[in-house]
Amino acid sequence: MRLVLLVRIGFLLLSGVLLVAAVQVRRDADAQSAGPQGERLTGMTGQRQTISFGVDERGRPRFLSTRIWAQCPGWPEQGVDWAPMGAIPTIRWGYDPLRVSQDKSLTYDNGERGFMSTTLEGRSVGGRIEGSMRSVWRFERHGAEYMVCDSGYVPFVAGADAEARLARVTPVRRPWTLYPAGPRHRRPRSVAQRRFVERVDDTCGRSHAQLRAALRRARRDGWNYWREQHAYGRGHDAQVLALMARGEPRENKATYRRWLGNFVKRVGLEHRQLDLMHQGDRAAAGSLAARLATLKARGNAAGLALGLSGCVSKGPVGAPKS
């Protein structure tokens, strides 16, 4: 529990530091960009979070604001508000191409340390800004790294037609984290396909309820990180077996295989993470975090294409779920 609390508190403290430090600078920047020569461009990130840029009369971004979610081993995504502006000493801005980076560290009362490194790269042309960003969080104990949380490379677009442009973004580097928008119009499905999707959703719902019950049993004798993680892993294994027992649909087989194969791969990586953490190699476990973040986004895309609604993959708050 101490490990989980440290990660959660670390994100909260660093998020607070970043925002508090930015308040006065933002007021100054808002005052400068509020006139006829200033402009604010808004858009969206690949994690379906709002991103906003303040640009000067030359069209160059002077500040930005968004929320980034990082995947942590054995723990749900952790979000942090990022509002870097040029007057803060820890922030570095560059133009042509656009590059913003910030490093931040915190030392806790028990001597453990947390480090954040967030970088954004992109282009600003004709009132449109686009590119990618990545946030990596590292935690040390006694001088040794034991936990890494990672967002993967998250694309972003701002300015005119942001939503449509985000849908057309192609990966430029790996791991690439892009959650799809919910499809507005799905092609009509046959009665047999609709029934299959309903049965899969029902299987997900029942197996997830069994997983939650197993977690409650694991907590009866007090909270224990390893006992809960093993219960979670066994629950995911049971979900995979239950879904495989359903067989395959007659239609959209390739999409279904992509969705289920994604789930199987994620469960395998979760087991690998847990093994590495048992071995004390938390840094290696953390290195798998960005791959899991990417896989969740891809799984959601396949699930949405199938029309699933009950087989929800956790992801950033606000991202469409399958």
pLDDT of residue 257: 93
Q: Which residue has the higher pLDDT, 17 or 223?
A: 223
Lowest mean pLDDT among 25-34, 99-108, 128-137: 25-34
The CB density around residue 307, as the number of other CB atoms within 10 Å, is 20
**What are 216-234's pLDDT values in tens digits?**
887 777 667 677 778 888 8
pLDDT of residue 52 exceeding 50: yes
Burial label, 247 (beta-carbon count in 10 A; 0-12, 13-18, 19+): exposed
Please state the pTM of the whole predicted model: 0.67
pLDDT of residue 88 exceeding 70: no
pLDDT of residue 251: 86
Q: Which residue has the higher pLDDT, 118 or 94?
A: 118
pLDDT of residue 222: 67
Helices (H), the chain: 2-33, 162-167, 191-218, 225-244, 253-278, 282-287, 289-306
Rounded mean pLDDT, 300-311: 82
Rounded mean pLDDT, 282-290: 73
